[in-house]
Amino acid sequence: MDSARSSDPRTAASTKIVVAGGFGVGKTTLVGTVSEIMPLRTEALVTNQSEGIDDLAAVPRKGTTTVAMDFGRITLGEDLVLYLFGTPGQRRFWFMWDDLCLGAIGAIVLVDTERLDEAFSPLDYFEQRGLPFIVAVNQFEDAAQYPLEDVAAALALSPGTPVIRIDARRRESVKQALVRVTEFSLEQMGAAVGA
């Protein structure tokens, strides 16, 4: 098989990864940073209409919000294409998560250490559905840095759940997270088959 054909997304194996987390943790940035196609974004302006519904206190400079999903694609290696689906972070849009997660092999739960409480609902969602996930601590400027073991303990993660640092603005950092969630998902599938 020639290399031009093997790197063609139409002939490569494809899989779906979900990127989830609370409002304003960097999901849209992550998908846009790594996508090799123009990412689909369903963002709307944050207006006064959301006052009392959305809590913007922790992210006062945020002017838009994802109202359906983010979508991107990246080819890893010569024969694997990952389709990325970013979930909306606001609770009022969570009814879409079941559809976005359908057929996914794994998820990245993106967290901000200044707002760890927003990670619990996404973590519970994936645990209840048995979807393998990793936790990616987004490196925000001026945010306090904590040992990853402390983050895992604060989130009460099951032993063996991967926790990594990521900068959602840096392509190589995001690619490493995608490789890790893919590896972890395959490990979990292999363990399930072995059992």
**For residue 105, what are the contacts with CB-CB under 8 A and spacing of at least 6?**
15, 16, 17, 132, 182, 185, 186, 189
Can you give the CATH number for the domain in which 162 is found?
A: 3.40.50.300
Predicted structure pTM score: 0.80
10 vs 27: which has the higher pLDDT: 27
Segment 81-97, tens digit of pLDDT: 999 999 886 666 666 78
Number of domains in the chain: 1
Segment 101-123, tens digit of pLDDT: 899 999 999 999 998 999 999 99
The boundaries of the domain holding residue 117 are: 3-194
30 backbone dihedrals φ, ψ, rounded to 5°: -60, -50
